[in-house]
Amino acid sequence: MGVLAAVDIKFLPGVGPKKAALFAKELNIQTAEELVRHYPYKYIDRSRFYYIHEISENMPFIQLKGQILRFDKVGEGRNQRLTAIFTDGKSTLELVWFQGIKYVTERYKTNISYVVFGKPSFFNGRFNLLHPEIDLPSQLPPPETMGLQPYYNTSEKMKAGFLNSKAVQKIMHSVLPHLQSGVPETLPAWLLKKYALMNLTDALINIHFPKNANALTKSRQRLKFEELLYVQLNILQQTKWREMNIQGFVMKKVGHYFHTFYSDYLPFELTNAQKRVIKEIHTDMSGGKQMNRLLQGDVGSGKTLVALMSMLIAIDNGYQACIMAPTEILASQHYDTICSLVGDSGVRVALLTGSTRPKAREELHGTLRSGELHILIGTHALIEDPVQFHNLGLVVIDEQHRFGVEQRSKLWNKNVQPPHILVMTATPIPRTLAMTLYGDLSVSVIDELPPGRKPIQTYHYYENKRQALNSFVYKQIQAGRQVYVVYPLIEESEKMDLQNVTEGYAYFQETFPDVKISMVHGRLKPAEKEYQMQQFVSGNTRIMVATTVIEVGVNVPNASLMIIENAERFGLSQLHQLRGRVGRGADQSYCILLTGFKLATDTRKRMEIMTRTNDGFEISEADLQLRGPGDLEGTQQSGLPFDLKIADLVRDSRMLEIVRNIAMEILNDDPRLEKQENTILSRQLKTLKQTSVNWGNIS
Ligand code: ADP
Ligand code: MG
- Give the position, in ligand 1's atom list, of the atom nearest the Cα of 580: 3
Same structural domain, 429 and 479: no
Measured CA to CA, the distance from residue 473 to residue 481 in angstroms comes to 9
- Of all protein residues, the one whose alpha carbon is nearest to atom 17 of ligand 1 is 302
Does the pLDDT at position 634 exceed 50?
A: no
pLDDT in tens, 41-80: 888 777 788 999 988 877 778 889 999 999 998 877 666 8
- Give the position, in ligand 1's atom list, of the atom nearest the Cα of 306: 6
- How remote is the CA of residue 556 from the centroid of ligand 1, in Å? 12
Query: Could you tell me which of 573, 563, 548, 609 has the C-alpha nearest to residue 463?
Result: 563
Same structural domain, 323 and 373: yes
- How remote is the CA of residue 409 from the centroid of ligand 1, in Å? 29
> Ligand 1 — pocket residues by CB below 6 A?
268-271, 274, 297, 299-305, 426, 450, 555, 584
At which of 146, 166, 200 does a domain end? 146
Cite the DSSP H helix spans in 116-175. 156-160, 165-175
- How remote is the CA of residue 324 from the centroid of ligand 2, in Å? 12
- Give the position, in ligand 1's atom list, of the atom nearest the Cα of 398: 4
Least confident of 154-163, 210-219, 457-466, 546-555: 546-555
At which of 613, 648, 665 does a domain end? 613
- How remote is the CA of residue 486 from the centroid of ligand 2, in Å? 19
Q: Please give the helix or strand (H or E) that residue 104 lies within, else none.
A: helix 101-107
Measured CA to CA, the distance from residue 135 to residue 128 in angstroms comes to 18
- Give the position, in ligand 1's atom list, of the atom nearest the Cα of 305: 6
- Residue 366's φ and ψ, nearest 5 degrees, are -60, -50
Q: Which of 20-29, 208-217, 380-389, 433-442 has the highest mean pLDDT?
A: 20-29
- Of all protein residues, the one whose alpha carbon is nearest to atom 10 of ligand 1 is 300
Same structural domain, 462 and 538: yes
- Give the position, in ligand 1's atom list, of the atom nearest the Cα of 555: 7
Residue 682's SS3 state is helix
- How remote is the CA of residue 450 from the centroid of ligand 1, in Å? 7
Tally the domains of the chain. 4
420-425 and 392-398 strand pairing: parallel
Task: Give the number of whichever ligand sits closest to the CA of residue 273.
Answer: 1
CA dihedral 40, 41, 44, 47 (to 10 degrees): 50
Per-residue pLDDT, 552: 52
Residue 625's SS3 state is helix
Could you tell me the pLDDT band of residue 491, with boundaries at 50, 70 and 90? low
Least confident of 23-32, 142-151, 358-367: 142-151
CB neighbours of residue 124 within 10 Å: 10
Query: Could you tell me which of 319, 421, 323 has the C-alpha nearest to residue 371?
Result: 319
- How remote is the CA of residue 90 from the centroid of ligand 2, in Å? 58
Average of per-residue pLDDT values in the chain? 86
- Of all protein residues, the one whose alpha carbon is nearest to atom 18 of ligand 1 is 302
Task: Give the number of whichever ligand sits closest to the CA of residue 299.
Answer: 1
Q: Which long-range contacts (CB under 8 A, 24 or more apart) does 596-603 make?
A: 596/462, 596/463, 596/566, 596/568, 597/462, 597/463, 598/123, 598/124, 599/568, 600/121, 600/122, 600/123, 600/568, 601/57, 601/121, 601/122, 601/123, 602/626, 603/568
Measured CA to CA, the distance from residue 244 to residue 465 in angstroms comes to 62
* 191 assigned to some structural domain: no
**CA distances (Å), 494 to each of 130, 488, 636, in order?**
27, 11, 22
- Residue 545's φ and ψ, nearest 5 degrees, are -100, 125
Same structural domain, 461 and 442: no
* 553 assigned to some structural domain: yes
Task: Give the number of whichever ligand sits closest to the CA of residue 445.
Answer: 1
Measured CA to CA, the distance from residue 149 to residue 209 in angstroms comes to 7
- Of all protein residues, the one whose alpha carbon is nearest to atom 11 of ligand 1 is 300
- How remote is the CA of residue 612 from the centroid of ligand 1, in Å? 23
- Give the position, in ligand 1's atom list, of the atom nearest the Cα of 307: 6
- Give the position, in ligand 1's atom list, of the atom nearest the Cα of 270: 23
Same structural domain, 416 and 533: no
Could you tell me the pLDDT band of residue 630, with boundaries at 50, 70 and 90? very low
Measured CA to CA, the distance from residue 477 to residue 515 in angstroms comes to 8
Kindly write down the DSSP assignment for every residue of 326-342, as one continuous string.
SSHHHHHHHHHHHHHHH
Task: Give the number of whichever ligand sits closest to the CA of residue 558.
Answer: 1
* 692 assigned to some structural domain: no
Choosing from 272, 296, 304 the residue with most ligand 1 atoms within 8 A of its CB, the one to mutate for a pocket test is: 304
Enter the pTM of the model: 0.68
Does the pLDDT at position 692 exceed 60?
A: no
**CA distances (Å), 67 to each of 86, 101, 112, 123, 474, in order?**
6, 18, 6, 21, 55
Residue 159's SS3 state is helix
- How remote is the CA of residue 511 from the centroid of ligand 2, in Å? 33
* Beta carbons within 8 Å of 238's beta carbon, 6+ residues apart: 439, 440
- Of all protein residues, the one whose alpha carbon is nearest to atom 23 of ligand 1 is 270
What CATH number is given to the structural domain containing 343? 3.40.50.300
* 220 assigned to some structural domain: no
Per-residue pLDDT, 498: 66
- How remote is the CA of residue 156 from the centroid of ligand 1, in Å? 49
- Of all protein residues, the one whose alpha carbon is nearest to atom 4 of ligand 1 is 303
Per-residue pLDDT, 376: 96
Query: Could you tell me which of 423, 326, 307, 311 has the C-alpha nearest to residue 381?
Result: 326
Same structural domain, 58 and 37: no
* Beta carbons within 8 Å of 440's beta carbon, 6+ residues apart: 235, 236, 238, 239, 242, 292, 699
Question: Across residues 285-301, what is the average pLDDT?
Answer: 88
Does the pLDDT at position 490 exceed 60?
A: no
Same structural domain, 128 and 163: no
- Of all protein residues, the one whose alpha carbon is nearest to atom 20 of ligand 1 is 302
Same structural domain, 260 and 393: yes
* 618 assigned to some structural domain: no
- How remote is the CA of residue 580 from the centroid of ligand 2, in Å? 10
Same structural domain, 528 and 608: yes
Query: How long a stretch of residues is the chain?
Result: 699
* 245 assigned to some structural domain: no
Same structural domain, 336 and 271: yes
Q: Give the range of the structural domain holding residue 534, as residue numbers without chain letter.
A: 457-613
HEC string of 512-555 equals CCCCCEEEECCCCCHHHHHHHHHHHHCCCCCEEEECHHHCCCCC
- Of all protein residues, the one whose alpha carbon is nearest to atom 19 of ligand 1 is 302
Decide if 543 contacts 485 (C-beta within 8 A). yes
Choosing from 261, 265, 268 the residue with most ligand 1 atoms within 8 A of its CB, the one to mutate for a pocket test is: 268
Same structural domain, 525 and 434: no
Per-residue pLDDT, 661: 93
Task: Give the number of whichever ligand sits closest to the CA of residue 300.
Answer: 1
* 581 assigned to some structural domain: yes
- Give the position, in ligand 1's atom list, of the atom nearest the Cα of 446: 2
Per-residue pLDDT, 632: 45
pLDDT in tens, 516-560: 999 988 788 878 888 898 899 899 999 999 987 665 557 788 999
Measured CA to CA, the distance from residue 633 to residue 219 in angstroms comes to 29
- Of all protein residues, the one whose alpha carbon is nearest to atom 27 of ligand 1 is 450
Task: Give the number of whichever ligand sits closest to the CA of residue 341.
Answer: 1
Which residues on neighbouring strands pair with residue 423, listed in sequence order?
A: 294, 397
Task: Give the number of whichever ligand sits closest to the CA of residue 303.
Answer: 1
- Give the position, in ligand 1's atom list, of the atom nearest the Cα of 303: 2
- Give the position, in ligand 1's atom list, of the atom nearest the Cα of 297: 2
Task: Give the number of whichever ligand sits closest to the CA of residue 553.
Answer: 2
Choosing from 269, 305, 453 the residue with most ligand 1 atoms within 8 A of its CB, the one to mutate for a pocket test is: 305
Per-residue pLDDT, 631: 44
Question: Across residues 366-394, what is the average pLDDT?
Answer: 89
Same structural domain, 313 and 407: yes
Measured CA to CA, the distance from residue 570 to residue 516 in angstroms comes to 27
- How remote is the CA of residue 441 from the centroid of ligand 2, in Å? 20
What CATH number is given to the structural domain containing 141? 2.40.50.140
Percentage helix, strand, coil for the chain under 3-state DSSP, each rounded to 5:
45, 20, 35
- Give the position, in ligand 1's atom list, of the atom nearest the Cα of 341: 16
Per-residue pLDDT, 693: 45
- Give the position, in ligand 1's atom list, of the atom nearest the Cα of 271: 23
- Of all protein residues, the one whose alpha carbon is nearest to atom 15 of ligand 1 is 302
At which of 446, 477, 511 does a domain end? 446
* 346 assigned to some structural domain: yes
- Of all protein residues, the one whose alpha carbon is nearest to atom 24 of ligand 1 is 450
